[in-house]
Amino acid sequence: MMPFSQYICSILLALSFLLSRAPGEGRDQGEGREVIGCRTVSDVINTPTGLEAAEDECYCVITADSEKLTNTAKVWIPERAARVRNGKRKFRTLWHRDDRIVLNYIASMVPGDPEKALRFSEISYEPVRMLKMDIATDMINNDDLGLWARCWKRKGS
């Protein structure tokens, strides 16, 4: 008979494989996709709203083509970054600044076109630590990531 600890570990291992994907992923949208985010959206307004759906909003899960996502540069954008000039170290603020400053920072951190990098940072002014991913508009319009969204109405609406 298998020891209880091995039995539990076997079940947990099996569950990890079973639950390693988002519900529905790989079934109706094809293999080779990864969930990259979730959001609420309005039926009548073409802008994202928040994380909790209001009565007239839907919950959406966004997926990307795994290979395209893997081949896309990614960069963490800190609130402030150090830079050395004339032998002196200075910090410059990156958040809420002109795009040129952020693009120069990205170019110094990752190879290739800085406009084609996924940008990650904290959401400022939030009471709890929340992270965000920014995707350049041109990347979305050109379908650089093979994005796909699946949305559901709020239960009871």
pLDDT tens-digit map of 45-99:
665 555 555 667 788 899 999 999 999 999 999 999 988 888 888 898 999 888 8
Res 7: pLDDT = 41
- SS3 assignment, position 118: strand
Q: How confident is the model at residue 3 (pLDDT cuts 50, 70, 90)?
A: very low
Q: What are phi and psi of 25, to 5 degrees?
A: -65, 135
- SS3 assignment, position 55: coil
Q: How confident is the model at residue 26 (pLDDT cuts 50, 70, 90)?
A: very low
Res 27: pLDDT = 45
pTM for the model stands at 0.67
Res 25: pLDDT = 47
Res 18: pLDDT = 42
CA gap 62, 150 in Å, rounded: 7
Res 24: pLDDT = 47
Q: What are phi and psi of 121, to 5 degrees?
A: -165, 175
CA gap 81, 57 in Å, rounded: 38
pLDDT, the chain, mean: 77
pLDDT at 19 over 50: no
- SS3 assignment, position 156: coil
CA gap 117, 69 in Å, rounded: 10
pLDDT at 30 over 80: no
CA gap 47, 131 in Å, rounded: 19
Give the tokens for residue 111: 């190879």
